[in-house]
Structure 1
């Protein structure tokens, strides 16, 4: 089935990052160059990581000088910090001076690491979709800093290329779980997914889009029939608890959210992942697990339990290991697919819920 994703207009193409091969061919022809220059441009942007058109040595020297001021759309690394587990947090400065955060998460081939410390099994990038976040979830550092603007598609794609270049390793997986709510920036997120899939070469099944849930947007996403993974930040088994954690939940009843998720499964044939941050004494009791299992009964889903990662603004606590495992066991007893996900990059404030675009 065909996938409809917004395309760039060649009239307003620059920054060039995020454009498809056909769009770049059309653009170079508008500049009076043969179409094959578009293929060269595509290779230099996506495979060689060029940051200035003046550096593309296969282009005629005269034309290169004319292109020197046309932006490709790359950011600069403002700060880089490494956690003991190898996770790298980047603060990236955009062309308008705004700063966003992205995270590179390496998974090593442990058997080979003694001989080759850089032997990676996979490299995941956690990308941001907005400068800040308007959702203001109570347990999350990102929402504490407010919201500035949506990221453009080239600013999303740039994050992946930056991590790829820094690690000198091809990125294998992408999670849209950084700053911002992806489904409040749907067009740019869809455009970035197209680019990352078709131009950078990352399979759709290796891409996860996370959302708190925006009325109608999950249904809208389903209409594109993508093979991505949808991850819904649920974090509570009922409306009252959810509203305490997620202010926007006041406008979106949990029953309506779950109904839309069921539609997503029916339309796409893809299961939905539910993210559930465990907060000690708040949403981690056995009765909460019972209620959650009842909510998810009868449709294709999976629960990721995420022990809370602390931030300074609130005094939530991470549950004990026994409490976490007990919650998991209740879900398993009700035949709910579940796993525990311990976040990477905790020591560098790069873990789930800790991102805030600051050192």
Structure 2
């Protein structure tokens, strides 16, 4: 018997269909997975925090309280540059007013519940408890030359994707602007304290604060559009108004909310846009990404291409490679055909091996299958790079830790 090549083997591989494991997907009257775009009614939000406001709004609030408005700048420096909310460390403020100022501007937003660290120390996963008991996660990763933080934007998620741990309990509420930003500030504090290991380009820790943000944590960022964009503005605002980060280091990801993608293209902020596609054909994507029942794969790709045309920023296509489900050679060829039909040079594909789960249908493709998938896309002229995976040993996929708790 002759040995099959990967291509011929791919023709004979089975087609595994998406199905939720260990939980039951909520279904609507039409028999389709139920989508939840709005948070549950009358859900309370956290108290207003300094990071929810512009510098002018911070000054105005202090004036309303009978406090000096210029203290807003000092408080902003402490939070965004020194990463502290501890009044005892704010020695440039009058001792008699420190506690009052801190209580007014820094209500507790995120309380650390658990911290998991990889063996080499270059990846840390945080589990945070919010003011209402909700649990969210963020993941801090050091790479050569940069430090990336994967942030959450919602408590839970309403997109109801069968493979996602976050979506098991639906959407509880949107996170506030400050709750999103506090993930970064607390991560910066951990870095400043020496909590993140790993080395930079020249064998030294060459990035001593978060340089890159990816909105790929818990929740669908574009379903919390206003607060996410407020957070992005605060990330790129110059100090002390904000964190003074580069917009080009911020990536906003979506499963394909087409109207919001088009709105994002009009923002005139040079952030990176990523479309979590995971299948180029509607037959599979309808089940894999339920929002595809509203906006089909071609509509989502069109919106991604529109983002490129409006901004000149190359788009990323995220594609989780799942064994015998979406990793067939013909799907790689179809994806290449659809992307090239819109033009060349506008897109980069980032396949990523799914974190393997023993005995589950949701497991990573075989190495030779992944390589063939990449080769088909690259040979078709579509730049494609297998994305580095981090945090397998600490349940790195967002939602795993909160679900376990």
* TM-score normalised to structure 1 length: 0.87
SS in 2 for 1:296: helix
Aligned residue pairs: how many?
Answer: 336
Counterpart among 97, 101, 106 of residue 63 in structure 1: 97
CA contact (8 A) 2:135 2:402 kept: no
Question: Shift of the alpha carbon at 1:135?
Answer: 1.0
Q: Residues 135-174 of structure 1 correspond to what in structure 2 (within 5 A)?
A: 135-168=159-192, 169-174=208-213
Query: What's the secondary structure of 1:210's corresponding residue?
Result: strand
- Hey, what does 2:79 align to over in structure 1? 45
Which whole-Å CA distance do the structure 2 matches of 1:17 and 1:281 have between them? 45
Do the aligned residues in 1 keep the contact of 2:151 with 2:216 (CA within 8 Å)? yes
Deviations 1:53-74 (A, max 9, x none): 5753322233334445425144
Query: What corresponds to 1:113 in structure 2?
Result: none
1:20 Cα deviation after fit: 2.7
Greater mean deviation of Cα atoms: 267-276 or 13-22: 13-22
| Offset from partner CA, 1:244-286 (integer Å, 9 cap, x none) | 2111211111121122122111111112100011111121111
Matches of 1:165 and 1:69, distance apart in 2:
20
> Equivalents in 2 of 1:149, 1:61: separation in Å?
38
Q: CA deviation at 1:24?
A: 2.1
1:303 aligns with 2:343: no
Contact 1:277 1:305 in 2 (8 A): yes
What is the aligned counterpart of 2:138 among 94, 102, 108? 102
Deviation at 1:354, TM superposition (A): 4.6
Unmatched tracts of structure 2, length 5 or more? 1-45, 193-207
Q: 2:386 aligns with which of 330, 334, 340?
A: 340
d(CA) in 2 for partners of 1:35, 1:352: 40
Structure 1 residue 107 displacement after superposition: 1.8
- What is residue 350 of structure 1 aligned with on the other side? 396
Verify the 8 A CA contact 2:286 2:293 in the aligned structure 1.
Answer: yes
Alignment of 1:254-273 (within 5 A): 254-273=297-316
Within 1, Cα distance between the matches of 2:94 and 2:150? 38
Q: Give the distance between the partners of 2:87 and 2:48, measured in 1 at CA.
A: 11
Cα separation, partners in 2 of 1:180 and 1:314, compared to 1, 3 Å: farther
State the SS of the aligned residue for 1:180: coil
Partner of 1:323: 369
Query: Would you say 1:75 and 2:110 are equivalent positions?
Result: yes
Structure 1: tracts of 5 or more residues without a match: 1-11, 109-120
Is 1:17 aligned to 2:60, yes or no? no
Q: What are the within-5 Å matches in structure 2 for residues 93-132 of structure 1?
A: 93-108=129-144, 121-132=145-156
Deviations 1:300-344 (A, max 9, x none): 111001111135794223111111111111101110011001311
CA–CA distance in structure 1, aligned partners of residues 72 and 270 of structure 2: 28
Q: What SS class does the counterpart of residue 114 from structure 2 fall into? A: strand
2:231 maps to 1:192: yes
- What is the aligned partner in structure 1 of residue 215 from structure 2? 176
Taking a change above 3 Å as real, the CA distance of residues 312 and 179 of structure 1, as seen in their structure-2 partners, is farther
**2:255: which partner in 1?**
212
**CA 1:289–1:21 in 2, change beyond 3 Å: closer, same or farther?**
same
SS at match of 2:389: coil
CA contact (8 A) 1:134 1:147 kept: yes
- Matched residues in 1 for 2:220 and 2:347: separation? 21
Which one of the candidate residues 87, 103, 108 is aligned to 2:123?
87
Kindly indicate whether the alpha-carbon contact (under 8 Å) linking 1:52 and 1:71 is maintained by their aligned counterparts in 2. Answer: no
State the alpha-carbon separation in 2 of the partners of residues 13 and 132 from structure 1. Answer: 20
In structure 2, the residue corresponding to 1:61 is in which secondary structure?
Answer: coil
Q: Distance in 1 between matches of 2:99 and 2:375?
A: 64
